[in-house]
Structure 1
Amino acid sequence: MTLVRWNNWQQMNSLHRQMNRLFDDMLVPSTLIERNLPRVPAAELQETEDAIHLKLELPGIEAKDLDVQVTQNAVSIKGERKSETKTEEKGRTVTEFHYGKFQRVIPLPAHIQNTNVTAEYKDGILNLTLPKSEQEKNKVVKVNLETPAA
Structure 2
Amino acid sequence: MTTGEELLEAVHGAHSADLHRFVVRLAGDEQLAQDVVQETLLRAWSHPQVLERPADAVRAWLFTVARNLVLDHLRSARHARERTTGTLPERQEADRTQAVLDGWLVADALQRLSPEHRAVVVGAYYGGRSVAELAAEQGVPPGTVKSRMHYAMRALRLALQEKGVTA
TM-score range, shorter chain: under 0.3
Structure 1 or 2: larger strand share? 1
Higher relative contact order (CA 8 A, sep 6+): 1
Say which structure is richer in helix.
2
Larger radius of gyration: 2
